[in-house]
Amino acid sequence: MNIPSGPLTGTRVVEMGNLVGAPYGGMALADLGAEVIKVELPGGDLSRAFPPFVATESAFYLAMNRGKRSVALHPRHPKARRWLMALVNSADVLLHNLRHGAMERIGLGESDVRETNPAIVYAVVSAFGTEGPDAARPGIDLIFQAESGMVSIAGHADDPPQKTATTIGDFLAGTNIALLICAALVERARTGRGKKVEVSLRDGLIAAQSTWNAIAVAEQGQPPRMGTASPFTAPNQLFEAQGGFLAVAIVADAHFRRLCEVIGRPDLADRYPTNPDRVQHREIIAEELGAVLATGDVDVWVEQFRATGVPAGKVLTLPEVMEDAQALHQEMFFQEIHPRLGAFAQTGSPFRMNSEPVRADMPAPALGEHTAEVLAELGATPLEIAELVTQGAAING
């Protein structure tokens, strides 16, 4: 058994998750050294069926589930339930994002679990919250982006509302629940008591827009869609140049002056010396800058801006990001060696400790790959495991 090492070494997490919210949180905990056992229904995590595929494995699933062991049990089968409860009772954390009421229906609600494991940290990723008028509503990231207001402020003024390409609410929820779990574990070490922690995907997106919410309050209305521009600083947006697009993000007045000197327009810095001046006249400034930047090569502009300390960068494609020197230095992409798939590229963790990347080195498991291994650790005999598989109560991958 190859269990990751790290600050959470010795912490057992049972994850009952689908798709992103709980699985990404579980993977973050695995990266930090927790032993994460992913409990799947015999059909497996829904993301296992998402294309594209690396051989027979979903690339989506592989990206969300490194560092875990997979146990496939049918929670409604009486013989499987015995071992599922034994697994939960051995855990420090139970993490799930199953639909509202599902855990209670299979006897794994918080009160059920706490009867036999009172110190457990019970962690829930929900759609809209576990209580309230929308608690039972199903949700997908697009709905959360729409109903958090995020879609209403994305895009250009004359365009329809837009969403982010990344399902940002899912990843934010996974990060948030991992943070909460770590906090609850610290408290438990002090008090000996477990706690229920939960995050809502929609709440996470609402909170992430706190500055935009502040605009709506201050101006008593809906902020306009501004494309790639910022309501707080200017110029802070994308510009088209020869060979690509350029991101320019000016906050400090000194940076704006350097920008203007590089492009040969110091008069703009004289006319708009402070950020409030530039915000007030952002459209005029964008037009002036855009006319100059369009005449030059995007890579040359980036080189000149970086040399003078102007915050700017080129809009990269995903393949370009994967070849970027800094991203490679940070080990944000790595070759994972999978026992069935061989070597393939994976996205690393953003976590670093003592200047070193933190990442579990176990590849995402096959469905039920570790069922027999984990059940044997819990005391199941080979005959009992074989009976579970024969009766359809478990899958042994």
Quick one: pLDDT band at residue 52, thresholds 50, 70, 90? very high
Q: What is the mean pLDDT of residues 212-220?
A: 88
Residue 295: pLDDT above 70? yes
Q: What is the mean pLDDT of residues 314-334?
A: 89
State the pLDDT at residue 5. 67
**Percentage of the chain surpassing pLDDT 70?**
99
Residue 8: pLDDT above 90? yes
CA angle, residues 209, 126, 166, in degrees to nearest 5: 50
Q: Which residues pair with 297 in a beta bridge?
A: 242
Residue 2: pLDDT above 70? no
Residue 273: pLDDT above 70? yes
Query: Which among 293, 271, 291 is positioned nearest to 280, based on CA atoms?
Result: 271
CA distance 233 to 61: 39
Where are any strands of DSSP class E within the chain?
Answer: 12-16, 35-40, 53-54, 57-58, 68-73, 93-96, 121-126, 196-200, 236-241, 244-249, 312-314, 333-338, 342-347, 352-353, 356-357, 394-395
Tens-digit pLDDT profile for residues 86-139: 999 999 999 999 988 889 888 899 999 999 999 999 999 998 888 889 888 888
Count of CB atoms within 10 A of residue 276's CB?
11
CB 13 within 8 A of CB 37: yes
Residue 178: pLDDT above 90? yes
State the pLDDT at residue 265. 93
State the pLDDT at residue 244. 95
Residue 108: both structure tokens together: 């794994």
Phi/psi zone of residue 279: left (φ > 0), alpha (ψ -120 to 50 degrees), beta? alpha
Q: What is the mean pLDDT of residues 279-286?
A: 93
Range 61-90 burial, b when 16+ CB lie within 10 A, else e: bbbbbbbbbbbbbbbebeebbbbbbbbbee
Quick one: pLDDT band at residue 160, thresholds 50, 70, 90? confident
CA angle, residues 360, 366, 367, in degrees to nearest 5: 125
Quick one: pLDDT band at residue 1, thresholds 50, 70, 90? very low
**Percentage of the chain surpassing pLDDT 90?**
54
CA distance 14 to 80: 15
First to last CA, the chain: 15
Provide long-range contacts, Cβ within 8 A and 24+ apart, for 253-256: 255/309, 255/310, 255/311
Q: What is the mean pLDDT of residues 172-179?
A: 94
